[in-house]
Structure 1
Amino acid sequence: MDTRRITGQTKIMLLMADPVSHVVGTEAITAFIRASGHDFICVPVHVGAQHLAAAIDALRGFRNCVGSGVTIPHKIPVLPLLDELTARARTIGSVNYIRRDPDGKLTGDNVDGSGFVRGAAEAGIELGGLRVLLLGAGGAGRSVAFALAEAGVAELVISNRNQGKALALVSSVSAAYPGVRVRIGDTDASGFDMVVNATSLGMAGKDDGDPVDLATLSSDMIVADIVMRPEKTRLLQAAEDKGCRLLFGRQMMDGQLALAQAFLGLT
């Protein structure tokens, strides 16, 4: 197969975002699925919040589309627009992949958290028993929170600018995983084994502060950032300067790819 050609036989996956300029995962998704022999391409699409419902409705009629990725800020607002959710997406309360069936039916799943855990494992990081500070309770943060609890962390502390969202996530994770200590916290990382940024703070083109008090990082910590562009965010650079072990956004993306491929029916 000539991977440079895009024809009427090419299977298309969209990736809806707002803004879209930061999106780099489309190349990784395309390369991964093409490597398994599919004539496939993933294309970023700039969809504003006011047009999300129309875009999802249009997706139903795009017969050569296998579905769509979903990222900031659509992971939660897209839920009521879909026909069905996997059990995982329903529990998490957000979606990052949509599968389009031949009849136009749209099903949502979320492999953010599962991808994060897989990426950590592939980097040799054992999550079981760790005390983790999770920054962010939005679409990605919710998925990572449930996945960390499933992986057996000893304690999960959730910090979010909107405390109501953090409290709601604490309640949901506690109900699903009663054996894990879950509570809300602030941006002080002192005493944690791992810090995970699941917000958009640090994304290229943004100058909106740091997700954690950088002065509270210490060399014995693992610091992870789900932001993919830049590869080394201000948080990760500060963590590296402190001697921390780093986990990059691309490692989370790579951990998702096989899960997304299976969900889309492209194995």
Structure 2
Amino acid sequence: MGRISGTTRLLAVLGDPIEQVRAPALVNPLLDRLGRDAVLVPVHVRPADLGEVVGGLRRIGNLDGLLVTVPHKIEICRYADELAPAAAFTGSSNALRREPDGRWRADNFDGVGFVRGLRARGHEPEGRRISLVGAGGAGTALAAALLENGAARLSVCDTDARRLHALLARLGERWPGRATGSAVPRVEDADIAVNATPLGMRADDPLPFDPSRVPPGGVVADIVMKPAETRLLRTAAALGRAVHHGIHTLDHQLECYAAYFGLAG
């Protein structure tokens, strides 16, 4: 990381917990390579404090943008002045930037990053049967991106019935007949089974679904980035299933962030 001075521009990533975030380790070297006088710092924000913290951050004159991780991706939209189409459709955001007029615009790159990561590893979502566990901020973005990129059928599971039904209603309006929901994971005929919940961040977390029920030849994917080898992925690999790690999503979000925050120009 380059020397920080009075001219340094700031970016912050908000989350609770925050220890698991990988964005600073990837974004700060990118800023150095691009010769940008900027730094991304992690900020631990508990849900009850989000509004107050974001209000204060917006008043920092040299803060250019925010990245957002669990559990704030849905709630953060309340504090944006404008929602890009992806954020408006999903109702969640993982990036906000300050516009030249001082307004804050929110967007969501979780879905595009996940799909690009899948394709880069040889896991094409088009025409596939996909099971997605988690209808929160990240899961909503992944669901929309997977259908947008040609998933033949999407089964979404979430224990929060109200949240699940709201997501299915939005998906059904845009992609009628291609998404179904359940309170328990349905992975028995999935070509790709995805954990889009925080389960796996802690060693004592239960498995989000049983990878032994994923058909041989299926892919088990996780959006958790730390630890890199979650219990789900270790178990799936031991069963002979192909696995897809969370870091691949962030790897492919970097180009989105660079364009969104004007870093590459």
TM-score (norm 1): 0.94
1:213 match: 210
Shift of 1:34: 2.7
* Paired residue type of 1:215: S
Q: Is the contact between residue 2 and residue 37 of structure 2 (CA under 8 Å) also seen in structure 1? A: no
* Paired residue type of 1:228: M
1:250 match: 247
1:232 match: 229
Shift of 1:76: 0.6
Q: How does 1:1-267 map to 2 (within 5 A)?
A: 3-178=1-176, 181-185=178-182, 186-203=184-201, 205-267=202-264
Provide the C-alpha distance between the structure 2 equivalents of 1:255 and 1:243, rounded to a whole number of angstroms.
26
CA spacing shift, 1:206–1:175, aligned 2, 3 Å = farther
CA spacing shift, 1:50–1:137, aligned 2, 3 Å = same
Provide the C-alpha distance between the structure 2 equivalents of 1:240 and 1:219, rounded to a whole number of angstroms.
11
Provide the C-alpha distance between the structure 2 equivalents of 1:183 and 1:236, rounded to a whole number of angstroms.
25
Provide the C-alpha distance between the structure 2 equivalents of 1:150 and 1:48, rounded to a whole number of angstroms.
33
Provide the C-alpha distance between the structure 2 equivalents of 1:207 and 1:168, rounded to a whole number of angstroms.
30
Q: Tell me, what secondary structure is at the counterpart of 1:78?
A: helix
TM-score (norm 2): 0.94
Provide the C-alpha distance between the structure 2 equivalents of 1:89 and 1:33, rounded to a whole number of angstroms.
25
Shift of 1:162: 0.9
CA-based RMSD of the aligned residues comes to: 1.4
* Paired residue type of 1:55: V
Shift of 1:5: 1.1
Cα deviation digits, residues 146-187 of structure 1 (max 9, x gap) = 000001000000011112211211111121223x61001322
List alignment gaps of at least 5 residues for structure 2.
none
Q: Is the contact between residue 59 and residue 67 of structure 1 (CA under 8 Å) also seen in structure 2? A: no
Q: Is the contact between residue 202 and residue 235 of structure 1 (CA under 8 Å) also seen in structure 2? A: yes
Q: Is the contact between residue 14 and residue 42 of structure 2 (CA under 8 Å) also seen in structure 1? A: yes
Q: Which moved more, 1:153-162 or 1:23-32?
A: 23-32
List alignment gaps of at least 5 residues for structure 1.
none
Provide the C-alpha distance between the structure 1 equivalents of 2:179 and 2:96, rounded to a whole number of angstroms.
29
Q: Which moved more, 1:57-66 or 1:68-77?
A: 57-66
Shift of 1:48: 1.3
Runs of 4+ with >3 A deviation: none
* Paired residue type of 1:145: A
